Amino acid sequence: MLGSAMLEFPRWKYVLILMVLAVAILYSLPNIYPQDPSVQINANRNGQIDDALRQRIEASLNMAGIAPKAVETTESGMLVRLPNLDLQTKAADLLRPELGEDYVVALNLASTVPEWLSRIGAKPMVLGLDLQGGVHFVLQIDQKSALDKRVETYLEDTRVTLRDNRIRFDSVERRPDNSIVVTLVDAADSTKARDQLAKTLMASGASNTAALVGAAQLTYQINGNIITIGLPQSELGKIGSEAIEQNIATLRRRVNELGVAEPLIQRQGDDRIVVQLPGVQDTAAAKRMIGATATLEYRAVVEGDAADAARTGRVPPGAKLYYDRMGAPVLLNRRVIVTGDQMVAAQPTVDERGGAAVSVTLNNSGGQRMFDFTGANVGKPMAVVYTERIPQVTEVDGKEVRSFRIKEEVISIATIQGVFGKTFQTTGLGKTESEDLAKLLRAGSLAAPMDFVEERVVGPSLGAENVERGVTAVLYAFLFTLLFFTIYYRMFGIVTSVALLMNLLIVVAVMSLFGATMTLPGFAGLALSIGLSVDANVLINERIREELRAGTPPKSAIVAGYEKASGTILDANLTGILAGIALYAFGTGPLKGFAVTMVVGIIASMFTAITVSRAIAVLLYRPRKKLKTLAI
C-alpha cells in the first residue's frame, strides 16, 4: 500500500505533456510537405506582371513540352511550379531569353505547406547549404581602389575648402607617395589654409569611422606657398584592412536584406572574402545584390547647351556631361551635393502620382549640405544620378582580364520647390529598381570594389542526397535503439521508445518554430541527442533494477529509480548543454548547426526521459493493485 501511494503523478503534468505533444506534432507537420522546384519571375522597370505574361509563359512552356504544376501570381511576381529539378533548369533556360531584360528569372524552391499551417507560424526547418544547395563565392577586394577612393576624397575636399574660404591656389595634386601638394597663390594664406583644411578634412570623415581615423592622422607641412598633406605609411596599410572589414559588414547587411538564413561570410587571407548563401540557386541574382555598387548622387544642373557639348566635346568648366535614361545629354556640376554614402535610411515607396520612389534619410552632415544647397537654390533644377559599377571579364591573349564598367545615368531632374534637408523622396525608378536600390542604400556602400574570383553552385540534388543520408542515419540509429531497448528492458523498453519518439518530435518542432538552420553536422547533433536521451533512460532503468534486486517493492522501485537517477541525469546533461553553448558562441557555420541541434536535443531528452517516461510508467502500473514483478 505504501508503494501504491508513492506511485503518483500530478494531473497538471499530464496536461503539460499532452500540450507539448500537440504543439510538437503541429509544428513538425510542415516538414512532411516537400518543396516544389520553381522558377520565380520578377518585373524590371518596363515589365508587367499580368494575365498576358501568364499566357506568354504557358505558351512557351507548352511549345517546349514542359508541363508545369501551376503558374501563380505572387506579391513579388510570378511563380512557375515544376514537377522536378531537371524541368526547373530547362524552364529557366527557356524563359530567360524569352522574357528578355524586362524580367528577372531566378530559380526557387516554393513551399507546399497548407495555408492554415502558415497562418499559425508553422513552417519547415531551414536547411543549410549542404542540405538544400545554394551558392559559394570567393571575392577579391581591390585594395588599391580603396586607397585611391580615400585619397581622391581628400583631394576634392581640399579644392572645395580652398574655394569656399576664398583662398586662391594654383594647383592641388596627388603625388606617387599618396601625399597631396597644395600650391597657393599667396604664401600669406598658408597658415589659414592649413587650419581650414585640418578642420574640413576631419569633418568630411565624420560619417565614416575609417575615414575619420585616417583624417586624424594627416600631417600638414608648410614651405612658403606650398602645403604638403601627408598620410603616414602605417595608416596607408590600414586602409586595405579596413576596406575588407567594412565590406564584410556591408555584405552581412546586404545578405540580411536578401533574407538568407544562416549565411557564411568570413575573411580569407589578406584580400579575400568567402560568402555562402544556402537556398539561393540563381547565381546571377545573388551576384547582383552582393557585388552591386549602385548608389545615388545628387548634383546641381549647369546651364548650357548640353546637346552642343555632347556633339563637340566642349564641356563648360566645372561641369560634366551625363545622359538620362532616354539618351538625352545633361550638364551637371562636378561637385556632388550628397551621395549614397551619407544615407542612413531608405525605403521603397510611391510618389504622389503612384510611381515607384525611394524615401531617403541622410545623416547630419549630408542633411546640412542638402539644406544649405536647397536653401540657396529654390526654383533651380537638381538632378539625381544613378551610378553603378558593373564587373566584366574580357579575354586578352587567352587570359581572363577582370575589370569594371561604370554606368552613370540621370534618373530624375526636378525643380527645387522649397527648402529640405535630411528627409525627401527620389523618383524616376522602376518598382524593382526602387526596391533593390533601397536595400543597397540601407546596407551601405562597399569601401572598395570586389571581383568574383570563384563561384560554385551547390545543386539541390546533392543537398537532397545529403538530406536522405542524414535522415537514414538518424532513422537507423532510432530503430536500432528501439529494438535494443524493447529486447533488453521489455515493457520499460517500450516506454523508453515512446519517450524517444516524442523527443525527436520536440527537436524538429523547436528547430522549425524558431527558424534554426539544420545542416549536415546538425544531423550528427540530432543523432547524438538521441544517444544522450538513451543514456538517461538507461540510468533510470538500471536504477529501478537495482532497487528490485535489493528487495524493494515494484512500485516503490519505480519511484526510487526516477528520483535517484534524476539528479545524475541533470548534472550530466548540464555539462553537455554548456559544451553546446560554447560551441555556438565560438564556432562558425557547421559548428553552430551542430551546437544548436545538440542543445535543443539535450533539453528535450531531459524532459522526455524524466517526465514523459515516468508519466507513462505511472499510467501502466499504478492501477495494478497486486503488482509483484516488473517487466524490466
Q: What mean pLDDT is predicted for residues 321-346?
A: 82
- Exposed, middle or buried: residue 276 (CB in 10 Å: 0-12, 13-18, 19+)? buried
- How much is the average pLDDT of 265-277? 83
8 Å CB contact between 125 and 516: yes
What are the beta bridge partners of residue 349? 357
Average pLDDT over residues 569-577: 84
CB count within 10 Å of CB 480 equals: 10
Give the pLDDT band (50/70/90) at residue 624.
confident
At residue 9, does pLDDT exceed 50?
A: yes
Q: From CA 572, how far away is CA 602, in angstroms rounded?
A: 10
pLDDT of 302-319, one tens digit each?
888 888 888 888 888 888
Highest mean pLDDT among 187-191, 209-213, 476-480: 187-191
Output the pLDDT for position 18: 92
Q: Is the pLDDT of residue 261 over 50?
A: yes
Write the CATH number of the domain with boundaries 291-457: 3.30.1360.200
pLDDT at 206: 40
Q: Give yes or no for a contact between 589 and 275, defined as CB atoms under 8 angstroms apart.
A: no
DSSP states along 508-543: HHHHHHTTPEE-HHHHHHHHHHHHHHHHHHHHHHHH
**What is the distance between the alpha carbons of residues 445 and 200, in angstroms, rounded to a whole number?**
22
| Mean pLDDT, residues 596-612 | 86
% pLDDT > 70, the chain? 82
First to last CA, the chain: 21
What was the pLDDT predicted at 531?
Answer: 73
> What pLDDT does 402 receive?
61
Identify the CA nearest to 142 among candidates 452, 519, 544. Answer: 452
pLDDT at 256 over 80: no
- Where are the chain's structural domains? 2-31+460-621, 36-110, 143-238, 291-457
Could you identify the residue written with the cell 538564413? 261
pLDDT of 282 strictly over 80: no
Mean pLDDT, the chain, integer = 78
Question: Residue 509 and residue 187: Cα distance in Å, rounded?
Answer: 76
| pLDDT above 70 for 295 | no
Closest CA to 521 of 569, 566, 437, 587: 587
In the chain, DSSP finds a helix count (H) and a strand count (E) of: 20, 22
- Of 223-227, 247-251, 612-616, the one with minimum mean pLDDT is 247-251
Higher local confidence (pLDDT), 120 or 240: 120
Q: pLDDT tens-digit profile of 60-102? A: 888 888 888 888 887 767 888 988 878 887 888 888 788 876 7
Q: How far out from the chain centre does Cα 363 lie? A: 24
In CATH, what is the architecture of 36-110? 2-Layer Sandwich (3.30)
* pLDDT confidence band for 212 (50 / 70 / 90): very low
Query: CA 550, 551, 552 angle in degrees (round to 5)?
Result: 100
Which comes out higher in pLDDT, residue 627 or 167? 167
Of the listed ranges 46-50, 187-191, 301-305, 309-313, the one predicted with least confidence? 46-50
| Whether pLDDT at 247 is above 70 | yes
Decide if pLDDT at 554 tops 50. Answer: yes
Give the DSSP per-residue string, 33-78: SPPEEEEEEEE-TT---SHHHHHHHHHHHHHTT---SEEEE-SSSE
From residue 271, how far is each of 144, 146, 288 by CA, in Å?
11, 12, 21
- Cell 553537455: give the residue: 576
- On whether the CB atoms of residues 591 and 519 are closer than 8 A, the answer is no
CB 420 within 8 Å of CB 374: yes
Evaluate if residue 208 carries a pLDDT over 50. Answer: no
Region 23-36: mean pLDDT is 87
Answer yes or no: are the C-beta atoms of 27 and 125 closer than 8 Å.
Answer: no
Mean pLDDT of 563-573: 84
- Going by pLDDT thresholds of 50, 70 and 90, the confidence category of residue 526 is confident
Q: Which amino acid is at 101?
A: E
318: alpha, beta or left? (left if phi > 0; alpha if psi -120 to 50): left
pLDDT one-digit tens code per residue, 341-352:
677 677 778 777
- Residue with the bigger pLDDT between 353 and 192: it is 192
- pLDDT of 209: 40
For the ranges 245-254, 329-338, 564-573, 586-595, which has the lowest average pLDDT? 586-595
Segment (H or E) for 228? strand 226-230
Q: Is the pLDDT of residue 6 over 80?
A: no
Q: Is the pLDDT assigned to residue 207 strictly greater than 70? A: no
Q: What is the pLDDT, as a whole number, of residue 2?
A: 41
Half-sphere exposure of 493 (CA within 13 A, CB side): 15
Question: Which pLDDT value is given to residue 19?
Answer: 92
Residue 294 confidence (pLDDT): 62
Confidence band (pLDDT; 50, 70, 90) for 4?
A: very low
Region 2-31+460-621: CATH code: 1.20.1640.10
Identify the bridge partners of residue 135 per DSSP, sorted by sequence position: 277, 457
**Exposed e or buried b per residue across 206-222, where buried means at least 16 C-beta atoms within 10 angstroms of its C-beta:** ebbebbeebbeebebee
Region 154-165: mean pLDDT is 81
Q: For residue 483, which of 500, 468, 467 has the smallest C-alpha distance?
A: 500
Mean pLDDT of 401-421: 75
DSSP 201-219: HHHHTTT-HHHHHHHHT-E
Homologous superfamily, domain 143-238:
Eukaryotic phosphomannomutase, cap domain (3.30.1240.20)
Instruction: Assign 440 a pLDDT band (cuts: 50, 70, 90).
Output: low
